[in-house]
Structure 1
Amino acid sequence: MMRTVVVTGSASGIGRATKELLESRGDRVVGVDIHDADVVVDLTTEEGRADLATRVGELTGGRIDAVVANAGLATPTPQTVAVNFFGAVATLEVLRPLLVGSDAPRAVATASMASFLPADDELVGLCLARDEAAALQRVKQLLEVDQGNLVYSSTKAALCRWLRRTAPTPEWAGAGIPLNAIGPGVVETPMTADLTATEEQRQGLLSMVPMPLNGFMGPDVPARLLAWLVSEENTHLCGQVVFVDGGSDTVIRGDATW
């Protein structure tokens, strides 16, 4: 049976691969991005997030089956916080009412293996407190002391914690909506092109993100996992971050499961 799935960040990378995979299986996909999409909005802004709900509702008649909150950035900038955490959470929250009419509603976010790398506790806390203005200001403070490398991991850590706290609530699990995330390792997409251009860069990245199983991956790999998580087959995963990282999690964290 055809399902209607909203995929953010659909113009490139994991989002595009997910959109193409779902469409190849007969689903209808409403792509969302800042360009080349069915719904063109800027998820770094409150206006864009509100427009997302309105536009998707208009295109789908107010009923969807799944949401893939995938849009993200990896730059040490305030925009990364605005998209990776506040944009992702807003996407899931504003589209949740449209899931209610589905016989098998599903929702998933794209996190990262970076969620268990060093992060800035203050930035994570501000995200979880939903204080966007202060979170964006904290990024500027981190940049001033040359700690911009903590921005991306902090956004993903905050997203995972929000998801763990939110998934079992009446609004999600209580409404029969599995809410989960994936945690990819290094995916070769336009977002990572500058980090994987040379062999020296690739080896340096692998020293930080070890991937003993088959090394770096193409966007089709996380796309297949996202597709299963929003499928009717996924009935009982709740608040899980499923790492598809070539082994980074096991190498870095060893016996620890969280």
Structure 2
Amino acid sequence: MSDFTGLTALVTGGASGIGRATAELLTARGARVAVLDRDPAPVRAPLRGYRADVTDDHGVRTAVAAAVADLGGLDVLVNNAGTGAQGTVEDNDDAEWHRVLDVNVVGMVRVARAALPHLRRSAHAAIVNTCSIAATAGLPRRALYSATKGAVLSLTLAMAADHVHEGIRVNCVNPGTADTPWVGRLLDAADDPAAERAALAARQPMGRLVTAAEVAGAIAYLASPLSGATTGTALPVDGGMQGLRPRQVAR
């Protein structure tokens, strides 16, 4: 496919995982792509890497401006940078709540705020936020993380309403548990990593983890000019976890 030919894109958290898969897919489909990450060292040409921490407003504005100048404009923003958290409401102190909210919610606000003046000059402007199944399904020991992703879902809808008349589409993807380096680190820290991986896979009706490439495909769909009538949408990529209630099959 070449639906992104001539377009430019900016992907946050794009040095690994879902962000990296998305940046590479958009490039393969014709876009010129810049990656913002706290550590852009793994980024290789034709991707362009820029150092930025989404909790630093000045750093975000500087990096976005540099990326847009190098790209020659901006058509697509993929707001993907984020962090995780585990525990019930009793398990994380105020500082941790503020830290995770600052990355997962306010971080998206900072990047979008810096990108919007450039997106307004595009004929194919699109923003895709990485949300989560945790926004719409109650998951155990994910109180803080779920709260941030619920906020991202509501933020996506509000942004879509605010900017629809400017020709800027805003959508989000809701991945299930994805097989990414971040999830890998969580599994490595578990008492029984193999058992924990099996439990996470079994939680999704398809019986396996989602791949980063599958989430990237959904992001590309929402960002593509071919989806010009799609805005204010949350697209699950969760192996059926949100909507399916399959019967257990006796073995």
Alignment partner, residue 69 of structure 1? 79
Alignment partner, residue 137 of structure 1? none
Does the 8 Å contact 1:44/1:87 carry over to 2?
yes
Q: Structure 1 unaligned runs (5+)?
A: 120-146, 253-258
Cα deviation 1:88-117 (Å, max 9, x = unaligned): 122122201111222211111000001124
Q: Which amino acid aligns with 1:201?
A: E
Alignment partner, residue 248 of structure 1? 241
Residue 161 (structure 1) aligned with residue 158 (structure 2): no
2:108 is aligned, of 84, 88, 92, to: 88
CA distance in 2, matches of 1:17, 1:206: 21
1:205 is aligned, of 190, 200, 214, to: 200
Alignment partner, residue 106 of structure 1? 126
Alignment partner, residue 62 of structure 2? 51
1:24 is aligned, of 28, 32, 41, to: 28
Does the 8 Å contact 2:210/2:237 carry over to 1?
no
1:175 is aligned, of 166, 170, 174, to: 166
Alignment partner, residue 225 of structure 2? 232
> Post-superposition shift, 1:185?
0.4
CA distance in 1, matches of 2:14, 2:36: 6
Q: 1:247 is paired with a residue of what secondary structure? A: coil
Q: Cα RMSD (Å) of the superposition?
A: 2.1
Does the 8 Å contact 2:21/2:213 carry over to 1?
yes
Cα deviation 1:103-158 (Å, max 9, x = unaligned): 21111100000112449xxxxxxxxxxxxxxxxxxxxxxxxxxx973111111000
Runs of 4+ with >6 A deviation? none
CA distance in 2, matches of 1:206, 1:189: 13
Does the 8 Å contact 1:195/1:202 carry over to 2?
no
Cα deviation 1:173-198 (Å, max 9, x = unaligned): 00111100000001111110034453
Does the 8 Å contact 1:45/1:82 carry over to 2?
no
Q: Which amino acid aligns with 1:104?
A: H
CA distance in 2, matches of 1:57, 1:189: 28
- Aligned pair count? 220
**TM-score (normalised: structure 1):** 0.79
1:39 is aligned, of 40, 44, 50, to: 50
> Post-superposition shift, 1:199?
2.5
Q: Which amino acid aligns with 2:65?
A: T
Does the 8 Å contact 1:65/1:105 carry over to 2?
yes
Q: Which amino acid aligns with 2:82?
A: G
Does the 8 Å contact 1:13/1:189 carry over to 2?
yes
Q: Which amino acid aligns with 1:184?
A: P
Q: Which amino acid aligns with 2:209?
A: F
Q: 1:233 is paired with a residue of what secondary structure? A: helix
Does the 8 Å contact 1:195/1:201 carry over to 2?
no
